[in-house]
Amino acid sequence: MRKIALVVLIIVLLPNLSAGADKVGSEGCKRVHKGSYLDRYRSDLDGDGIKELIMLEEIPGEDQDELVKEVKLVVRTRRGDYRYNIGPVYYICGVEEMRISDRIKPFISLWYFAGAHAIWMELFSFNGTELIGEIKIFSDAGSIEVKDMDNDGVRDIAAIDRDYDNNPTENGYTKLYKFTNNKWQFVSVRRIFQKNSYEENYDQI
């Protein structure tokens, strides 16, 4: 009975990622179910004017209480399917299109659970012949945000980690990533000083 209640609670908390949410926390993740495609959407990833179908494919283990053996990202085109092996994943937050600028082709954004409060975000691109893993970003505070931090017209990624050298419930670090020279790069770390919140109130380290 407890397991059923937990699953219901997780589904209720699931955010609408397909609507283009800019911020996701670990409370929005859900359990992967056997033999299903979890999320799917269409997007012109390679700029050829034809929308590809993007979806998740999972192959669970024999014991349903164990981690899912394998999760694959699938891009379906007229030429065939392209797959990228994500590996063992237990809770999926979602897969969605992520646009950071009108001048840059969209990315595939995959979010998944990584502990009691932590999440991973992986970004992928598709050039028409290959599905490419661009970057994998971790937040042990369960907070990753995508927005234009420096007003240059291109959205950046900010991921928060807790500061375990001080009070991790009140202090942390924001890791900033930017897309420059056609690739994602880590650019800076900022220390956050904000009681009971991870609002933007930080000083440069």
The closest alpha carbon to 196, from 170, 172, 175, belongs to 170
- Tell me the percentage of the chain whose pLDDT exceeds 90: 40
Write the pLDDT tens digit of every residue in 157-205: 999 888 777 766 667 888 999 999 999 999 988 876 554 444 444 333 3
Mean predicted confidence (pLDDT) in 49-62 = 82
Backbone angles phi, psi at 77, to 5 degrees: -120, 175
| Predicted pLDDT of residue 79 | 92
**What sign does the CA torsion over 176, 182, 183, 187 have?**
negative
| 150 vs 193, higher pLDDT | 150
- Tell me the percentage of the chain whose pLDDT exceeds 70: 65
Q: Cα–Cα distance between 69 and 60 in angstroms, integer?
A: 5
Q: Cα–Cα distance between 202 and 69 in angstroms, integer?
A: 40
| Predicted pLDDT of residue 76 | 95
Q: Above 60 in pLDDT, residue 46?
A: yes
pTM of the predicted structure, to 2 decimals: 0.74
Check: CB of residue 123 under 8 Å from CB of residue 135.
yes
Reported confidence tier of residue 58, pLDDT bands at 50, 70, 90: confident
Backbone angles phi, psi at 101, to 5 degrees: -170, 150
HSE of 151 in the Cβ direction (CA atoms, 13 Å)? 0
Beta strands in 44-118 (DSSP E): 52-59, 70-77, 80-87, 91-98, 107-113
Amino acid (1-letter code) at residue 64: Q
Write the pLDDT tens digit of every residue in 76-129: 999 999 999 988 776 777 788 999 999 999 999 998 877 667 888 999 999 999
Q: What's the gap between Cα 137 and its chain centre?
A: 8
